[in-house]
Amino acid sequence: MSSLAQFLVAPQLVPALDPGFRPAALACRAFANAATVPVTLALEQADGSVFHHQLNILPDSHSAALEVNAFFVERLAKFLLWAYGGWRLHVAGPEALADALRRHYAKDPAGRFDSEIIGQRIYDHPIEVVTVKSPTELPAPKANTAPLGRHWQGCRIGFDLGGSDRKVAAVIDGKCVFSEETVWDPYFQPDVNYHLDGVRDSLRKAAAHLPRVDGIGGSAAGVYVNNRVKVASLFRGLPPEQFEARAKNLFLELQREWGGIPFEVVNDGEVTALAASMSLGVNSVLGLAMGTSTAAGFVNAEGNITSWLNELAFTPFDYSPTAPREEWSGDVGVGASYFSQQAVGRLMAPAGIEVDSTLPLPEKLKLVQSLMQAGDPRAARIYDSLGIFLGYGLAHAASFYQFEQVLVLGRVTTGVGGDRLLEGARKVLELEFPELSARIRFQVPDEKEKRHGQAIAAASLPVVG
């Protein structure tokens, strides 16, 4: 048994299709019970925002201190990087921990991915690790927040671009008069015109249901700054030169085509949380969209969004060394493998559902949903496993987000399987995390809201007039 294994606690509710699952929430709790030496991590963003995270680590006298401490600090740092965002990581703790992090971002493939995507492509700096002797030497916490959306006057178009479909809605003074979902496959397309023509088609169809178009709002997977694409899985198939020449300014090009009208594009996770906050009239919301990948967003207690990335597709939720490897980042145990169509696809074989491996993920999901509708126990086991993943995942996310409401939507949650998934998550919280179960409320949108709510909410993004 490795030194780490003693902290990898088996869940009381075991996902039948993934018995090796070792939830990060339970591992961190076990580690915290044995750790006594305080460490503070401070993550700094380019705009001066700074976010602190405090934890304890094992003392040097522990036989496995270096190995175990390095593992837990790196996993927690990765969660911070992808959830909050930033490029400079300050460590108020042992120099050996900082050195381990530096080696990870310089040499480990998953660490290099983080440094390239988060550091260089989003913040224009490779990830830098800085050591200080005392927490008093850390930069002070600072958070920038801003209101988002909630503008309904006029005739608007909203769109939501996912990895397997794109959705569009036409809205007049807050009332949706048209919505449509179109299957597409943008991930590995080598020509940006595929993406442009697809969005143009959806916008044109929505405009046909409006007397005029006053503004356009968009929700899309990725990171966007002033409507420019910083990094997005939707464009990962493009050659670098085509991304730089065309894709980076794709939405600015579309805005020009529509006469320069107000045009606003933000991360799809933010719009997920916005949709929940607006439709339910509540704040302190964590929104989680289970689509081709995983999108998340957070609305704070004041009803504003933060400068956080909320890219939970790449944050670790399973600490098992045998956890599935996510195909883009190359890391194991991250959110995309547990809260998405990718999760459904990987669980089909263990469930005994044979399917052509080349079948696209949306078609695999449709098959599982049809089997679930017919009462097939194999499909039920998939949704039971997804529910367990979600319950333990939300418990871990609660260490980083102060939320009281959870909205779970996306194509995976549609149909009777979605109800079973949410019930499984509730059972996990009731059994293992009763304090969270008492605090957190699940919000369940109707079927149209699950699939089209983000596009409708996106229509409220631009300020018109």
Query: What is residue 161's three-state secondary structure?
Result: strand
The architecture that CATH gives domain 280-450 is 2-Layer Sandwich (3.30)
H/E run at residue 289: strand 285-290
Q: Which among 350, 351, 423 is positioned nearest to 380, based on CA atoms?
A: 351
What is each CA distance from 304 to 147, 216, 222, 322, 445, in whole angstroms? 5, 21, 20, 38, 21
Q: Which among 75, 39, 79, 73 is positioned nearest to 55, based on CA atoms?
A: 39
Q: Which among 95, 137, 102, 131 is positioned nearest to 119, based on CA atoms?
A: 102
Is there a common fold for 146-270 and 280-450? yes
- Report the interhelical angle of 65-83 vs 95-107 (nearest 10°): 60
Query: What is residue 136's three-state secondary structure?
Result: helix
pLDDT (0 to 100) of residue 451:
58
Angle at the Cα of 176 from the Cα atoms of 170 and 177, rounded to 5 degrees:
70
DSSP letter for each residue of 334-359: BGGGTSSHHHHHHHHHHHT----TTS
Q: Which among 268, 310, 175, 207 is positioned nearest to 455, based on CA atoms?
A: 268
DSSP letter for each residue of 87-113: SEEEEES-HHHHHHHHHHHHHSHHHHH
Query: What is residue 398's three-state secondary structure?
Result: coil
Q: Which among 148, 132, 146 is positioned nearest to 44, based on CA atoms?
A: 132
pLDDT (0 to 100) of residue 233:
86
Tell whether domain 146-270 is in CATH 3.30.70.260: no
Rounded to 5 degrees, φ, ψ at 305 are -95, 160
Distance CA 451, CA 411 (A): 6
Query: The tokens of 363 are what?
Result: 């078609």
pLDDT (0 to 100) of residue 447:
60
Amino acid at position 185, single letter? D
pLDDT (0 to 100) of residue 367:
97
Distance CA 285, CA 299 (A): 5
Query: What is residue 172's three-state secondary structure?
Result: strand
Domain boundaries, the chain: 11-143, 146-270, 280-450
**Averaged pLDDT in 10-residue chunks for the chain of 465 residues:** 87 98 98 96 91 95 91 98 95 95 96 95 93 94 84 96 92 95 92 96 98 96 88 90 94 97 91 81 89 90 86 96 94 98 97 94 95 98 98 98 91 93 98 97 70 84 90
Residue 106 CA, distance from chain mean position: 25
